[in-house]
Structure 1
Amino acid sequence: MKYYIITLLIIIFDQATKWTVASNMNLYDSVEVIPGFFWITSHRNTGAAWGILEGQMWLFYIVTVIVIGIIVYYMQLYKDSYPWLMVGFASILGGAIGNFIDRIFLQKVIDFIDLNIFGYDFPIFNVADSALTVGVTLVIIIMLIDEMKNKGKNVNE
């Protein structure tokens, strides 16, 4: 149950930040927060990361529902073990639902975090995207650690 609270907090923070940007900034307005590095830029995305599959909302609906189902299944399966894996799943779930809400009600996703990292103008993203990235990274790390722990062990032992 506690991991679903993490999911809920991510959704609330994601939607609150998107609402704040959409309510207080015009589309494409930008405010520099850290000179040369971080801006809050009001942007909308009808695709996935980096704008790929632009306008394919039906695909995002299907994929998101499947991902939510799989994540909830695995959260129930591993609820009594692997706390960091559960945090990863909760983050993925929160991020997926946060962007799904935008897609359902707006047919686009509100993005606003605009970074320039070592001269690379990173695509604008949001809190849900960050949660998805952190969650997937945690799940991969936990899986790799678990695999390394079990490497060389005989499955029949």
Structure 2
Amino acid sequence: MTEPLAQRARSTAQPTWRAIALVSLIAAMVLVVDQISKTLVMVTLGPGAGGGAFEVVPGVLWLLYVENTGAAFGLFQGRNPLLALVALVIVLLLAIWFRAVAAATPWGALALGLQIGGALGNVVDRLRHGFVIDFIDVPFWPTFNLADSAITIGVAILLVVLLRSDAQRASQGERQDRRG
């Protein structure tokens, strides 16, 4: 049986300064790279810059300037204050959850750093511009940005970390059952 997340959080050691520094560094790097990329796109492809799309890989990848006032996949259009607040609450919850995951593994720290940095990158856009700048366009997916990519990769890594952690716990439990 797997133990509930709250119980796991209590039973996990406090994060070390090294783990906190790693999460903070990754989040800061994601935030900076995201904001630089969006500024470059705004200056080169945004309003007043000639606009249009730049085809990077013919038929597969374009760069174009999109002002997204909604959430992922265009949901909740025009609800900027609510979306910024939700993103900040998620960042806070990730920071709290950090005790349960990132303290135990560098992969957990990487996952949380990517998610926090990506969420903050999009929050900065909402607060500065009133929308999120999206610019990576592929034929099979809605237009997105580096912050969205960081969040998605962070979630994928976190799922692997959690699944491996549960599998290791189950394996340890089976060994203890056989012994005793």
Tell whether the structures are fold-level matches, with TM greater than 0.5. yes
Q: Which residue of 1 aligns with 2:125?
A: 102
> How many angstroms apart in 2 are the aligned matches of 1:58 and 1:80?
32
Q: Give % identity.
A: 29
> How many angstroms apart in 2 are the aligned matches of 1:25 and 1:40?
8
Query: Which of the residues 116, 126, 130 maps onto 2:145?
Result: 126
Matches within 5 A, 1:8-157: 8-27=28-47, 29-76=52-99, 78-116=101-139, 120=140, 122-151=141-170, 153=173
Aligned-pair Cα RMSD in Å: 1.9
Deviation at 1:76, TM superposition (A): 4.6
> How many angstroms apart in 1 are the aligned matches of 2:105 and 2:39?
34
For residues 110-149 of structure 1, the C-alpha deviation after alignment (integer angstroms, 9 at most, x for no partner) is 0000112xxx3x1100000000000111111111111122
**Runs of 4 or more consecutive aligned structure 1 residues displaced over 4 Å after TM superposition:** 76-79, 154-157
> How many angstroms apart in 2 are the aligned matches of 1:149 and 1:77?
15
> How many angstroms apart in 2 are the aligned matches of 1:80 and 1:13?
25
Larger Rg: 2
> How many angstroms apart in 1 are the aligned matches of 2:80 and 2:23?
28
Q: TM-score with structure 1 length normalisation?
A: 0.89
Deviation at 1:43, TM superposition (A): 0.8
Q: TM-score with structure 2 length normalisation?
A: 0.78
DSSP 3-state at the match of 2:104: coil
Paired residues, what number? Answer: 153
Amino acid in the other structure paired with 2:158? V
Deviation at 1:78, TM superposition (A): 4.5
> How many angstroms apart in 1 are the aligned matches of 2:99 and 2:169?
23
Name structure 2 gaps, 5 residues minimum: 1-20
> How many angstroms apart in 2 are the aligned matches of 1:60 and 1:26?
23
